[in-house]
Structure formats: C-alpha cells, structure tokens
Structure 1
Amino acid sequence: MKRATRHLAALLISSAVLTSGAMAVAQAADVVVVQNGGITQEAHRKAMWEPAAKALGFTFEEDTSQSWTEGKAQVDAGAVTWDIVSLNMGEVQLAVDADVLTKLPADIVDRNDFLPGSVSDYCVGNTVFSTLIAYNTEKFGDAGPANFAEFWDTEKFPGKRAMFRSPRGNMEAAALALGTPQADVYKFLSTEEGRKAALDKIAELKDHVVWFDSGAQSTQLLTDGQVDLIYGWNGRIIAAIDAGAPFKINYKDGLLDVDCYAVLKGAPHVDNAIKFVSEISKAQYVKDLPKYVAYGSPNLKANESYDEATLARLTTSPENVKDQYTTDFAFWGQYGTTLSEAFDLMLASN
C-alpha cells in the first residue's frame, strides 16, 4: 500500500529528518514503529502494538511514513531513529538491495502458520489486502464496471476515477484492460512490449483520474463524493462505505497483496524490534485487526476465530477470494524501480 521510489527527496534531506528531537524520541521508547497512517495505523495500534507492548513490558513510539525510502535516508546518514517499518512485500527486495534492512532470525515466526510468500528473511507479513474496483451505486446502480475493460470505458461509465499514484496495481489493471487473461498478467508485463503497452493504457485514462497518495486520501475522495469510481484498497473503501459513501465493491480481478514489518539496519533498538515483530505477528493479536479495519492477516491461525459477518468484509474470505489473483512480489522486486520512474514520466508528459 506504499510507493517504492516516490520519496527520492527523502534521500537528500537526511539532516532534516535526523533532528535532535527525533533522536530523543527514539531513545525514550523501547521500540519505535512506523506505519502508513490513517485507519490502518490506528488498527495496528489497537489490535497489535498496544497489547503486545503490554505483554512484553515495552513502551513504544510511533511515526507515519508512506515510503521505505524515508528509512533509507536515515540508514544512509548513519543516524537511524526508527526501528520497525511497514512496507509492501514487493518492495522488500528493493530495500534489501539498498542495504536498508536487518536480516531477521529464521525462527522469528513459524512460517507454516503464514500464507506462502508472506514471510521472508527480512520481513514478516502483517496485512492482507486487495486492490479492486468499486463504484458509486447512486450513479450506476448495481451495474457498475464488471471488469477492467469497462473501468477504462469512460463513455459507458463517465466520471472521475480514483487511482493510487504508483505503477503498482495499475500496471496489472492496465494489462487486464488490454484483454490479457488474469493468469498471464505477469507473463505479459515481463516483456518490454507488455510494460510499454500497459503504461500507454494508463496514459489513456489519466485525464479521467484523481490520483491519491495515501489510503486516508482515497477514503476521503469517496466520502466527499469527488469520484464515481475507484481502483483502491478494500479496507479503505469499506471504511468509506461504513461512513455512508454509496459505493459497491467488485471483487473480480482484485489483486491480493501483503504488507509486512521489517527492522531497519542500524535501528537503535534492534533486539527489541525483533522481539516486537515476533510478538505482534501472533494470532492472538492479529485476529483482532478486522475489528478496526477490513483487512485480514497473513497468519492463517487468525482466521479460525472469524464469524461469517467478519469473513464477509475480508478480501480473503472464500467467497471474495475466488475471482482474485495474487501479486507477483518477484516481478516488483525486479521491475519496481524502473517502472516507478517510467510511471512518473508518463504522468508528467502531456
């Protein structure tokens, strides 16, 4: 749910982020944890951080960031104030290649309890979400876009679309809009011709798009009625629906994804951070995440306690997951940087 290279400026202003005040905060707490703000951060605090800190006898401080590159600025300056950061599993290899993350103990969690691919040597999955289509029922009734070809059809479905200002998810959506079968999306995007075609397809739509930079902003766009359609994160869309926004989700071709917790290299409390990541990843905490936001956990043991009403709101329920597909994290590890640069150039061009 974060940009891979959007915060290039953060790499150049380490003196601004490494103030004496920030250093004091880092030293005052037992661990400093960073999330991407809004209802997701609030949900993690209530469901995971607070009870886990109590169990460990820890105090924690928290901060907000939209990109792991802000942590890279601290690592590069040799004055790290954060301990734990949340990033997308598809960004992990980029951060490892940049020498930003601490390698975690092999036994930090039992990988058998987690969704395949949601735990790596450097990051432990904390949230499962989907990027998917939703539409305004007051404008379209129950007959909103049935697929991405229709999401791109501005004559049949006029109105502004909200989309994340990133190639992540949008490249896959564009491939589907071009008629690529779901099973072949990453095969198509692994070719230079496919990537160019997908970027060109996004460029066709950009005059009809309101780009958002955070989950909180995407929710606000729906509750304020600024857009009629969205390709966004299920938890943020459901938050808007809960607040009264007249939107309906279409789970077909939803893109399943995972965010994870990692420990920065040179973190001021690295041992505490590893203990905290291990603790907050337990089912006894993550099972409560859906009480605060409509996201599930990669820890499969958490699902054992959910009733039908809870499952219906989760993108990973048997009914909702059947027409979705999973993000190829290796693809984004390989092409994330170059696609972010190409995406930015596409947006800047006329």
Structure 2
Amino acid sequence: MNVMRHLAALAASVLIISGAALSAQAADVVVVGPGGLAQESMKKALWDPAAKKLGWTYEEDTSQSWTEAKAQVDSGAVSWDIISLSMGEVQLAVDAGVIIKLPADIVDRKDFVPGSVNDYCVGNSVYSTVVAYNTKKYGDGAVKSIQDFWDVKKFPGKRGLFRSPRGNLEAAVIALGHKPSEVYDFLSTEEGKKAAFDKIAELKPYAIWWDSGAQATQLTKDGEVDMIYGWNGRLQAAIDDGAPFKINFQDGLLESDCFAVVKGGPNTDNAIKFVKEISKPEYVKDLPKYIAYGGANLKAYADYDEKTLSRLTSSPEHTKVQYPANVDFWGKNGTALSEAFDSMLLAK
C-alpha cells in the first residue's frame, strides 16, 4: 500500500509538472523583466496592451541578471524568449552567446534616443543614476553635487549605493574633481581605476549596499539612508509614497534599458514580433503613468505636459545637466571591474 501511495503521489506530481510545462509552452511568448515597480510598469504600459492587440497570451518571469539566461542557454534548456538588459550589458551577453542579432528593420533607429538601439537590443526606458537626499535632515536644495554625496563631514549620515561598479565608478571620478566629459578617459588608465575604487572605499563605513531597485525604494521610504545614489524612477517612487527626499539630476548618469531575444528560446519569431510591437510610441507613451521613466522612443514624448516632463530624467531640462554612460567601456571592462569591485568590498 505504501508503494502504491508513493506511485500515485509520483504520478500526480508528474501531472502537475507536465501541466505547468504545457501552460508555459502554450504562451505565445515568454518575457522577463527586472521585477518590482519597473516590471509592473512594463506589464501595464507595454506587455498587456501589446498582447491584446496581437491576440496573444504571454508568460512573465523576473530576473536581476542576464547570466540567468546564460545558464539556460548553456544547459540547452531555454524557457525564456525576451530579457531586459541595460545597454551596458548587451555586449557582454553577445560575447557570451546569450542573445541573437535582431532584424535591421525591427525599429527605425532615428526615432529613438541616441545609443538606445543596436543590432541586438531595442531600448525601452531611459533612466539615470542620481543623488537623492533627505530634505528634513539637510534642507531643500542643500545637496548640489556628487562631491556633496562624498562629503560625510558636511553631510553626515548613511549612504545608499548599488552593489556594483557601474555608476559608482563614474560618480567617484566626478567626486575626485573631474568633469563628466573626462570620466571614461580617466577610467581607461590603471591609475584612474585605482583612484576611483579608492574613492568608493572611502564610503564603506557609511554605506548600505542595495541589490535591486525595489530595495533602493524601500531603503529611501524607511529612512534607512540619508542620501542615496540610485535609479531615478525607484527614488521617485519612494518620494511619491511620502519619503522626504529630493532628487538632484546634476551629473546624473544617463542609461537605457532594452529588450533582447534569447538564443534558442521557445518562441523566437514571436519574440521578435513582440519586441517590435512593444517598442511603438502608442505603448511607450504610457510608461510615465506608472514609473518616472521616459521611453526610448522619442515619438512618445509629443503630448507630455510639464508636470510629466519634470519627473522624467530624459526630459530636455534634465538631460542637459547629465551625461551618457559609455556602453563600449562597460562592454570591454565590465567583467574585470566587477571582480575588482567585489575585491574592494571584501578588503578591510
């Protein structure tokens, strides 16, 4: 009887697993986002209406790193079709054989923010890494620069920083006194890299390291940090929920996220069609309804009012005081700098 019960339970488990697999296979496309508010915004503005227009169903999943897609590709068991990347990660994913080259006519590149589309990825949202600070502690307008973020004597308190070299290295170079236009030339030298890592290390006694956008929002809302260097949309979400913080866009690092198609996915042709569809301005224009990110498709900006533009890092007023990330630099140096960053964190 025990054996029979075991066999019955095993059979039931197989049916459950098989049913889940069939459910996933039944979807027309499987799309993966970064989780949290960003993914919820993509779902509402892009994925749901585009799927409805196409008459499709889709499955969604969440991932914080393209290396999870690499694990699927390497194992030969790919369940995802579309993943979201930052443009600075694209070359790494290409070199690792994780994503496919897209059709040249998938979008009209002249309609997009410069640098937000390449042969492998189509831009979806534009964001920047910026400083936000507690106005109750420091005063409205008190924090004016990246240098102020590093000045723990004038502005004592906890600092929130992303557990990654991306953004932090650039900010450290500016904190050292260099202009944004000089950042990547400086980081292209061994002396420059060392100086930037040493500068980041100065904040280790004051740092709370966050690993996801949702965590950055929560740290800000809960008042666990007094200043934070993070993604503008996640910080704006905390402000919208009542956090007494203000964003300073000065010397913000402009970047874009993009959608790529995973090599060997179950629905590659559909994935290409879906990326093309969700990149249209009629969907992209609605992103700011749900998060303070503008879309990469410039045609989406035509009808935004001043209030909407004031919240977007990609507005003309804000872009003129920021600078773009150099995706080629990160494509060439990302792996080595990530290893050096981890070593810096572990060092006493």
TM over 0.5: yes
Alpha-carbon deviations, 1:278-315, whole Å to 9, x = none?
00000000000000000001100001121111111101
Alpha-carbon deviations, 1:117-170, whole Å to 9, x = none?
111111000110010001000100124322122211111111101111000000
Q: In structure 2, what is the equivalent of residue 260 of structure 1?
A: 258
Q: In structure 2, what is the equivalent of residue 10 of structure 1?
A: none
Q: What is the aligned counterpart of 1:283 among 255, 277, 281?
A: 281
- Write the mapping of 1:116-135 to structure 2, written as runs, cut at 5 A: 116-135=114-133
User: How many angstroms apart in 2 are the aligned matches of 1:144 and 1:24?
Assistant: 57
Q: In structure 2, what is the equivalent of residue 39 of structure 1?
A: 37
Q: In structure 2, what is the equivalent of residue 102 of structure 1?
A: 100
* TM superposition shift of 1:349: 1.2
Q: In structure 1, what is the equivalent of residue 150 of structure 2?
A: 152
1:300/1:345 CA distance change after superposition, 3 Å: same
Alpha-carbon deviations, 1:246-300, whole Å to 9, x = none?
0011110001001100000001000000000000000000000000000001100
Q: In structure 2, what is the equivalent of residue 91 of structure 1?
A: 89
Q: In structure 2, what is the equivalent of residue 57 of structure 1?
A: 55
Alpha-carbon deviations, 1:89-139, whole Å to 9, x = none?
011000000011011111111111111111111100011001000100010
Q: In structure 2, what is the equivalent of residue 244 of structure 1?
A: 242
C-alpha contact 1:163 1:212 (8 A) present in aligned 2 = yes
Q: Percent identity at matched positions?
A: 68
- Write the mapping of 1:221-236 to structure 2, written as runs, cut at 5 A: 221-236=219-234
Structure with bigger gyration radius: 2
- RMSD over aligned CA atoms reads 1.2
User: How many angstroms apart in 2 are the aligned matches of 1:181 and 1:270?
Assistant: 43
The more displaced of 149-158 and 272-281 is 149-158
Q: What is the aligned counterpart of 1:343 among 341, 344, 348?
A: 341
- Write the mapping of 1:24-35 to structure 2, written as runs, cut at 5 A: 24-35=22-33
* TM superposition shift of 1:26: 3.2
Q: Which runs of 5+ in 2 are unaligned?
A: 1-16
Alpha-carbon deviations, 1:51-88, whole Å to 9, x = none?
00011111001011000000000000001001000011
Deviation beyond 3 Å, 4+ runs, structure 1: 19-26
C-alpha contact 1:294 1:314 (8 A) present in aligned 2 = yes
Q: In structure 2, what is the equivalent of residue 113 of structure 1?
A: 111
Q: In structure 2, what is the equivalent of residue 194 of structure 1?
A: 192
User: How many angstroms apart in 2 are the aligned matches of 1:169 and 1:20?
Assistant: 43
User: How many angstroms apart in 2 are the aligned matches of 1:245 and 1:229?
Assistant: 12
Secondary structure at the aligned position of 1:272 is classed as: helix
User: How many angstroms apart in 2 are the aligned matches of 1:309 and 1:136?
Assistant: 22
Q: In structure 2, what is the equivalent of residue 136 of structure 1?
A: 134
User: How many angstroms apart in 2 are the aligned matches of 1:262 and 1:317?
Assistant: 25
**TM-score for the superposition, normalised by structure 2:** 0.93
Q: In structure 1, what is the equivalent of residue 175 of structure 2?
A: 177
Q: What is the aligned counterpart of 2:65 among 64, 67, 74?
A: 67
1:344/1:23 CA distance change after superposition, 3 Å: farther
User: How many angstroms apart in 2 are the aligned matches of 1:147 and 1:227?
Assistant: 17
Secondary structure at the aligned position of 1:85 is classed as: strand
User: How many angstroms apart in 1 are the aligned matches of 2:317 and 2:124?
Assistant: 22
Secondary structure at the aligned position of 2:295 is classed as: coil
Q: In structure 2, what is the equivalent of residue 334 of structure 1?
A: 332
**TM-score for the superposition, normalised by structure 1:** 0.93
Secondary structure at the aligned position of 2:61 is classed as: strand
User: How many angstroms apart in 1 are the aligned matches of 2:20 and 2:207?
Assistant: 37
User: How many angstroms apart in 2 are the aligned matches of 1:82 and 1:280?
Assistant: 17
User: How many angstroms apart in 2 are the aligned matches of 1:180 and 1:62?
Assistant: 42
C-alpha contact 1:23 1:81 (8 A) present in aligned 2 = no
* TM superposition shift of 1:25: 4.5
User: How many angstroms apart in 2 are the aligned matches of 1:124 and 1:203?
Assistant: 35
Secondary structure at the aligned position of 2:202 is classed as: helix
Secondary structure at the aligned position of 1:163 is classed as: strand
Secondary structure at the aligned position of 1:226 is classed as: coil
The more displaced of 338-347 and 143-152 is 143-152
C-alpha contact 1:130 1:254 (8 A) present in aligned 2 = yes
Q: In structure 1, what is the equivalent of residue 319 of structure 2?
A: 321
C-alpha contact 1:124 1:260 (8 A) present in aligned 2 = yes
